[in-house]
Amino acid sequence: MRTRETRTAITTALLLGVTIIGGPMLAPTADAAAATGTAAGETTIRPATAIGNAWQGTLIHEAPLPAALQLDGAGQAWRIWYESTAWDGAPTVVSGTLTVPPGEPPAGGWPVVSYSHGFGGTADQCAPSVQGPSPWERALNDELLAGGYAIAATDYDGIGTPGEPSIVNGPSEAYSVIDIVRAARRVAPLSRDWISVGYSLGGHAALWSAHLADSYAPELRHRGTVALANFIQFPLQLATEQVANPAAPLIPGTLYSGVTGPVTHPGWDASQWFTPLGLGLIDKARTECVGQLAADVATVTNGQVFKDPAAAAAEFNRLLDPQDVPITRYPEPVRLAHGTADGTPAAASALTAQELAAAGTDVTYLPVPGADHFTLLPTIAPQVLTWARQMFAGH
């Protein structure tokens, strides 16, 4: 398990140019050097105080993003590594991507969409910066890029970089989402204005980012949040019969709780809740992305994996409860959308919208008839672009 001391050692090594990322530290390209105001050949590392506070948002390394992973119509695209804050407050290294539109940026730089992706697995090869975005997420990001926005997309802490992932952890997700904006501004000419857009688990991350943006990064200007097909309201999610019924097919994502539970809850013992078969599948989850794992467990039931499915659901709810989206008045607009045919309950987004409205937040909830967890994003993409334009315009 990665300790605070281990993370600090990893971070120090990366800053010194040790090749544990997979290659030596590279000098910036001429274009990147021009964007960041350095001469080609200089180091890409900047003092952390240049934009952010302490270590948060320090750019460690940048490299061109392979063409196969780039969004359609990209002007330039990079994979970047940067420092952020882990779930326990320690420094950590996070990876992600940055894509800017073609042509000259507007005065003040490209406005930024910090995009938080849906969960694809905890192994490093599952990071979107390694395998690319899903087709449905690509459709949304292509629309936003064509609309004139830079897209900064985090991989989250511990996915794509050394160490253990902490998913699901609201603050850690938010720090990764916010700090990639800081780091990206050292790569390309970007504005201080940004919005958070997230899908599925990324909706959880986007909402947590909205909650923490002003206090964590007051030098940036957070303009609003769009959260789609959201994995939130955990008691509602885990109360479904699909989770607690022993005869129901296993939801593959529950296996990753056995991977991350001991990270954020030291001493937590998966063997109290999982059967020997379940423990073996947790080992698979450490190395397999969601698609492969889902194929592996297609015929497996909850009763085969959990000693007591209802008790396991209650335990996961206990672990996740502190990570649910904070209900308070958010200072900037929040827009939620969810497909009515989504297996992730649309009621979770509707309830969150009601609670945020009662707390004084400017919030809109849009149910999308007939859309499921995967068809929602291509369907809703034009509306998301409209919301983005309104947020950046100050509406």
Which of 271, 299, 322 is a domain's end point? 322
Burial letters for 305-326: b for 16+ Cβ neighbours within 10 Å, e otherwise? bbebbbebbbbbbebbeebbbe
175 & 36 share domain: yes
Kindly state whether residues 282 and 363 are assigned to the same domain. Answer: no
Both 35 and 159 in a single domain? yes
In tens, the pLDDT along 55-77 reads: 799 999 999 999 999 999 999 99
CATH, residue 169 = 3.40.50.1820
Are 79 and 144 within one domain?
yes
**Residue type, position 268, single letter:** W
Q: Which of 300, 322, 344 is the last residue of a domain?
A: 322
Same domain assignment for residues 256 and 302? yes
Q: How many domains does the chain have?
A: 2
Please write the tens of the pLDDT for every residue from 179-229.
999 999 999 999 999 999 999 999 999 999 999 999 999 999 999 999 999
Domain boundary among the residues 272, 290, 322 is at: 322
pLDDT of 9 over the 50 cut: no
Beta strands in the chain (DSSP E): 59-64, 76-85, 91-100, 110-116, 150-154, 190-199, 221-228, 334-339, 363-368
Residue 28 reports pLDDT greater than 50: no
| Same domain for 302 and 245 | yes
Contact 168, 264 (CB under 8 A): no
| Span 340-367, pLDDT tens digits | 999 889 999 999 999 999 999 999 999 9
Rounded Cα gap, residues 208 and 218, in angstroms: 15
What residue numbers bound the domain in which 340 lies?
4-233+324-393
One domain, residues 189 and 334: yes
pLDDT digits (tens, 9 = 90+) for 141-160: 999 999 999 999 999 999 99
Together in a domain, 116 and 264: no
CB 89 within 8 A of CB 216: no
